[in-house]
Structure 1
Amino acid sequence: MLHIPALEKLVHELSRLPGIGPKTAQRLAYYVLKSKDSYPTQLSEALMRVQAEVHTCTDCFNYTDRTVCKYCEDSHRHSDILCLVEEPSDISRIESSGAFRGRYHVLHGVISPLEGITAKDLKVQELLNKIEEGIAGTRPTIKEVIFAFDADLEGDTTALYLTKVLQGKGVKLSRIAHGIPMGSDIDFIDDRTMGRALENRIEL
């Protein structure tokens, strides 16, 4: 790359996006430069609009441009079942399955000691407040909390911590099953996934 400070700055900022490496960031930067007649302005306007209009839902902490998101507004959803997710983007994946009709609570991360992320950095206290308010009768009672976290060390750590915190609250705790994906060949399944599949086996 030519030593052009403005271009280098753009590449640097693009490379900070999740899943974008230096080479991809460079290709994107050159695309923006090549399309400079209109695209940079449109991109800038889109970014400014998101910054101005999108915020977190006051109840579940999903992203929305209203006071509460569409899932919290939906009166047909079950208020006694709460699904915990790491990020707002996880909600769309769960919704696409069509298998869940309860409410959501976004933690905005998972516990990760290596990155210095603790429970205090997440929406854990807000979760406890919801459950306590349900017990007190000031909001619908939550009967079950589902952990929908990744099957990795951070997800396991977060699930273990929340299990301890929520014990004695009169709430059923469950976690989405992890195992062999539909249509997969057992020959290509790694040992950990196979172990999870056996642990989460179901009776026929």
Structure 2
Amino acid sequence: MSEGSGASGDPLRRLTQLLARLPGIGEKSALRLALAIVRSNEAYAHALAETIESAASRMQPCSICRDLAAAEVCEICRDPRRDPSVICVVAQPQDRMAFERAGVFRGRYHVLHGVLDPLAGVGPNELEIDSLLARLRTGEGAKPSPVREIIVATSPNVEGDATALYLAKLLEPLGLSVTRIASGVAVGGELEYADMTTLHRALEDRRAI
């Protein structure tokens, strides 16, 4: 049976089930979204379906920073105005988006796509750590790396702190300055929900690990 088919043959029920599989979307929210979609005009529904399909097929990890991008190299990595000497390491694309919305960072990024979480089976091999090391050793385009500081901007919780400490020990032999964002972000909180002032303070008051 294909992903788009359902045993009941009810397209509204199937749409609700698929929406409910999205993070943070419960069954009631999924039903409200499904009803809103089917009640919308046909042009909007088609545009939504085409955009979802396009995003799913076109978005890929940037060959440099591993953030999601519609091209081989993302816009930030291509931007010559960004400072290549400072890399902010974040757990997820939404964390990078939070910093960009706040406009408080003008360096480059590296996206790990997760944090260390042994209980969930997430170890170093499941994260984009090897690509970070390769980037630091060879730079971009086989040029010497210009990086002088790594800012570890994982969320201030158990998994985020463990990831920061692991990266600090791993990067120490490279002779780089490895810093951690300050505790302006609430302990146990998530970066993607932090406001501009909090993110700015967390970056400005970063400390060596």
- Report the TM-score range of the alignment, normalised by the length of the smaller protein: 0.7 to 0.9
Name the residue aligned to 2:64. 59
* Ranges of 4+ aligned residues in structure 1 off by more than 4 Å: none
In structure 2, distance between residues paired with 1:180 and 1:63 = 24
Q: Which one of the candidate residues 88, 97, 111 is aligned to 2:93? A: 88
Q: Does 1:160 align with 2:147?
A: no
The residue type equivalent to 1:92 in the other structure is M
1:120-176 superposed Cα distances (whole Å, 9 cap, x missing partner): 111000011112224xx7333321100111111111111121112112210111011
Superposition CA RMSD, Å: 2.4
In structure 1, distance between residues paired with 2:18 and 2:41 = 17
Q: Which one of the candidate residues 35, 38, 48 is aligned to 2:43? A: 38
Q: Which has the higher contact order (CA 8 A, sep 6+)?
A: 2
Q: Which has the larger radius of gyration?
A: 1
Q: How does 1:72-83 map to 2 (within 5 A)?
A: 72-83=77-88
Name the residue aligned to 1:112. 117
Structure 2 unmatched runs, 5+: 1-7, 187-201
Q: Does 1:48 align with 2:53?
A: yes
1:75-133 superposed Cα distances (whole Å, 9 cap, x missing partner): 12211111101112222211233332111111111111222111111100001111222
Q: What TM-score, normalized by structure 1, do the two folds share?
A: 0.79
Please state how far the C-alpha of 1:201 moved relative to its aligned partner. Answer: 9.9
The residue type equivalent to 1:64 in the other structure is A
Query: What is the DSSP-based 3-state SS (H/G/I as helix, E as strand, rest coil) of the residue aligned with 1:26?
Result: helix
Name the residue aligned to 2:74. 69
Please state how far the C-alpha of 1:39 moved relative to its aligned partner. Answer: 3.3
> In structure 2, do the counterparts of structure 1 residues 119 and 180 end up closer, same or farther at CA, with 3 Å as the change threshold?
closer
Structure 1 unmatched runs, 5+: 182-196
